[in-house]
Structure 1
């Protein structure tokens, strides 16, 4: 940790809009005054943009409007000038074809919002899956002092005395309906129990994972990740965040000071310890690309391989985020990693202190939620990166959510050319499939879907479910929800739509999965593979205009974070030229 605060006072970025008495500054300042702001607010105090992803169509973030008021209170208290700015909000729950397609569009729009307007620092108000990475990517690209405040997870769901994890039980109950074990009316009754308060998913899904990644990276105050959305302590955290961003501006503490390689290595190890979502892989790879940190899939495999999963939360374990918070939350996990030599203790955080200084004195209040090492859910909980002739650039699998008996498996491929083919055939009783087969789904990657939807955890065929089978090996270039589970190989790269080997897998081919040796192999000769690839022709639909066209033309592979190629790197925050 070598950060040295900048001298204060100094001329801030916002003073290029509001400082002085020229025609242009009076133009900018005068219009702001129609909201009733007194003149001395424009005297050089830090102007803080509260970038709010609140939307009534982003239900996980539906409470952020009220939370923003607490952020504003903190900014005012610290001598700043808060301005709330609504920004692009990509909802996991409503966006089609998939919210992932719009993560990059949101990052682009928010980056330009930050750059084009008179803000000196930013509070990133996030929650739903893609809002956290999109705002972090934008902040990294502009390098304006920024801090994350998450909306927090929902309270536990309960159904007939059983904890109900949002997402996790959706998949479970859906399979039980298809297997004839749960009636449709019971499924609808359970629906009412899944989302009983404001907030994001209450499992260690992608929203909670990315909140944990933001905290581990040092971009949020310690303890931010796990506080439930409706707990009064979430509002306290928001107010403290508002206070802190003002001092960050005065110190000129920027994302580039915090988002170092050491920070990313801490995040990779933490993801293994918490049993975090596979989606964290594409988001952190993209974020690293924005700050020009050379992060690869190999780093994910190497960094997480020997990290035990010690957080006993769904979908890997049995508890939910509410219990995780009561147990002590992410700081307890970070302390455990630090004690085991798996944390870069000097990594800087938005508090201005090292990550170790933030967590070294915390206490684990429930060792059944945050487990001792000898009771870990799995001894190797990091994301497994698989390679082989079926995934030359890599694929990922989450060991903590997979079935141990399927981690080494050889089976006959049952191939679905796209998601529509899967939906048309999966319930057909004549489908030639059993539990020993390997389900293969093509054309669902960044270019192919387009957008790389969360369809990789394909539901099993009913005739297999009726046998009591709950897991099979599934392989695709798609993603899966962080709330999902199973022996699911994802993010196969290059993707099928780009002519990767996945595109030429045929019905009846034998496929070998060997997770311990990180191998994913299509059992055909090199000569046969070369012939098939030479004969391959694209079958996915190409968009002809609009953002979908731009996305398909410029999106990179999952192994590089699925960012748009022209958005990589930090473009900074130069003051735009006057236009009048």
Structure 2
């Protein structure tokens, strides 16, 4: 094996391998960190893309994880170099971390391409850091491996396990309904987040960790090991070792991210009860690597049962998921059902079928057997109709079965500020049979497509004991949220999609079983309303990154990437002549 490694043509040799003025300068400046001469002689240079930030609580422990990756790289004969990329934490960043996902992807792509790297390890955790770094790396197509920070430990409140994020939605609804006091509501704060790591529910962070593993871009068990479990650091070490071998095998990202791998991820999302945000992120990643993935491909997961009994769809949290066998146990059961493309290559050099063959499950209530699923048809439901000609999505595993076929009167909120002021009005003409409609919260409308689609119900309805209503918007919702919520309506209202034409009193029919979302208004009337809106449109005067975002972001069904970023540009870069 050692002789094979010496024959590997390294990309970093274009910087460090020449005996001229440029090579002198590249090596000399790096040596000020104490790097010895022999590290520039045929050793792969491994970039560690670190999204560590104290403003991204989910990723605040990444300095320690990076050190374990480095140990692995060094042990395998590589040279680790750690560098920061933009860290967009969901919990603090305004207006939404989705607004800067593409910025983080641009940062990652240019940092990888412009530097002397032979491969990269992506340290990801919080919601948008996983897709952002995968998008940026895909556009460069070097050998790449994902190391996730892991979920936090179970929250503990009133002697019970509570899920991060999901507790917020549940407790707030209870408070608004008058069922608990303000003191009781606020006392839950310290109980929810008691260790390092991402949300411990099957929210977007856990979902995207599972997507990364099911795509084959991480080692087995990466998705679920708790952040503070020593096995998380072992996995980081092994990933550091493995990335060095990937360089010698020329195992680039495009060999892993195939169409079949994306279908595996779609079916996995159904099995885990994953976040609707995965629809947008997988499309964006696929667009960067050159795989044709569209909304109709999500029908591949529609008949797949939800096996993972986790909040917000079910009962348990990520700790129990890992102890029960983690994602390999789920993938094994998908394989038994025939729903897994077993021949897909993964970053450890084996197929995904080989990785999960005979993977054990230790708790059949946490990871359900195929004949006793949590939800029989758990995949993301794709809706189309005159209200969403380019599609909308709904998460059946988090919805109320009795609302999956529902006809109701529209109560319209023109934007999120209008919603906040109107929903608390005791005179609002609304009851539980109505359909709440929120506009202008899509990619361009918010901007950034914030997670406001799971609108809280009006207090007057909550006080009646009602827990769910049909809600429709062009926004997203948190993966930790629940309810019969139609999201990502495309085109968005800001782009004069039919959603913009909905008025109070219009009747809307949701038929999730048949994938239909219909506004009971004639095509002529919809067109006339939209024409009137266009004639009265006020163009927002924006500048800076927001101007670039509004001018170039694509719609939800296209992955919300920037139009000029789609595609794989490779790792070639013109030489720098000093």
Q: Quote the offset at 1:256 in angstroms.
A: 0.4
Q: Partner of 2:41 in structure 1?
A: 43
Q: Deviations over 1:472-507 (max 9, x none)?
A: 000000000000000000000000000100001001
Q: Partner of 2:186 in structure 1?
A: 188
Q: Partner of 2:417 in structure 1?
A: 420
Q: Deviations over 1:183-221 (max 9, x none)?
A: 111111111110000000000000000000000000000
In 2: Cα distance, 1:536 partner to 1:255 partner = 45
Q: Quote the offset at 1:305 in angstroms.
A: 1.0
In 2: Cα distance, 1:543 partner to 1:384 partner = 37
Q: Deviations over 1:143-194 (max 9, x none)?
A: 0111000000000011112221000110000111101111111111111110
Q: 1:422 to 1:539 in 2, by over 3 A?
A: farther
Q: After the TM superposition, which residues 524-535 of structure 1 pair with which residues of structure 2 at under 5 Å, given as runs?
A: 524-535=521-532
- The correspondence for 2:464, drawn from 463, 467, 472, is 467
Is 2:13 the counterpart of 1:19?
no
Q: After the TM superposition, which residues 67-86 of structure 1 pair with which residues of structure 2 at under 5 Å, given as runs?
A: 67-86=65-84
In 2: Cα distance, 1:145 partner to 1:95 partner = 30
Contact residue 16 and residue 575 of structure 1 kept, 8 A: no
Is 2:504 the counterpart of 1:507?
yes
Q: After the TM superposition, which residues 98-497 of structure 1 pair with which residues of structure 2 at under 5 Å, given as runs?
A: 98-300=96-298, 302-497=299-494
Q: Deviations over 1:544-568 (max 9, x none)?
A: 2111110100010000100000000
Question: Which has the larger displacement, 336-345 or 534-543?
Answer: 534-543
**Runs of 5+ in structure 2 lacking a partner?**
none
Question: Which has the larger displacement, 405-414 or 536-545?
Answer: 536-545
Q: Quote the offset at 1:575 in angstroms.
A: 3.0
Q: 1:445 to 1:284 in 2, by over 3 A?
A: same
In 1: Cα distance, 2:572 partner to 2:422 partner = 54
In 1: Cα distance, 2:74 partner to 2:315 partner = 42
SS in 1 for 2:321: helix
Q: How many residue pairs align between the two structures?
A: 574
Structure 2 length-normalised TM: 0.98
Contact residue 448 and residue 540 of structure 1 kept, 8 A: no
Q: 1:206 to 1:306 in 2, by over 3 A?
A: same
Q: 1:372 to 1:385 in 2, by over 3 A?
A: same
Q: After the TM superposition, which residues 569-580 of structure 1 pair with which residues of structure 2 at under 5 Å, given as runs?
A: 569-580=567-578
Q: 1:261 to 1:540 in 2, by over 3 A?
A: farther
Q: 1:543 to 1:157 in 2, by over 3 A?
A: farther
**Runs of 5+ in structure 1 lacking a partner?**
1-5
Contact residue 413 and residue 508 of structure 1 kept, 8 A: yes
Q: Quote the offset at 1:541 in angstroms.
A: 6.2
Runs of 4+ residues over 6 Å off in structure 1:
none
Q: Quote the offset at 1:307 in angstroms.
A: 0.3
Q: Partner of 2:516 in structure 1?
A: 519
In 2: Cα distance, 1:366 partner to 1:437 partner = 40
Q: Quote the offset at 1:413 in angstroms.
A: 0.4
Contact residue 443 and residue 540 of structure 1 kept, 8 A: no
Q: 1:283 to 1:543 in 2, by over 3 A?
A: farther
Aligned CA RMSD, in angstroms, stands at 1.1
In 2: Cα distance, 1:496 partner to 1:509 partner = 16
Contact residue 333 and residue 369 of structure 2 kept, 8 A: no
Contact residue 115 and residue 576 of structure 1 kept, 8 A: no
Contact residue 44 and residue 118 of structure 2 kept, 8 A: yes
Contact residue 542 and residue 552 of structure 1 kept, 8 A: no
Q: Quote the offset at 1:579 in angstroms.
A: 4.1
- The correspondence for 1:94, drawn from 89, 92, 95, is 92
Is 2:495 the counterpart of 1:498?
yes
Contact residue 22 and residue 577 of structure 2 kept, 8 A: no
In 2: Cα distance, 1:100 partner to 1:193 partner = 27
Contact residue 553 and residue 560 of structure 2 kept, 8 A: yes
Q: 1:490 to 1:41 in 2, by over 3 A?
A: same
SS in 1 for 2:524: helix
- The correspondence for 2:549, drawn from 538, 551, 557, is 551
Contact residue 337 and residue 370 of structure 2 kept, 8 A: no
In 2: Cα distance, 1:579 partner to 1:280 partner = 42
Structure 1 length-normalised TM: 0.98
Contact residue 497 and residue 539 of structure 1 kept, 8 A: no
Q: Quote the offset at 1:372 in angstroms.
A: 1.4
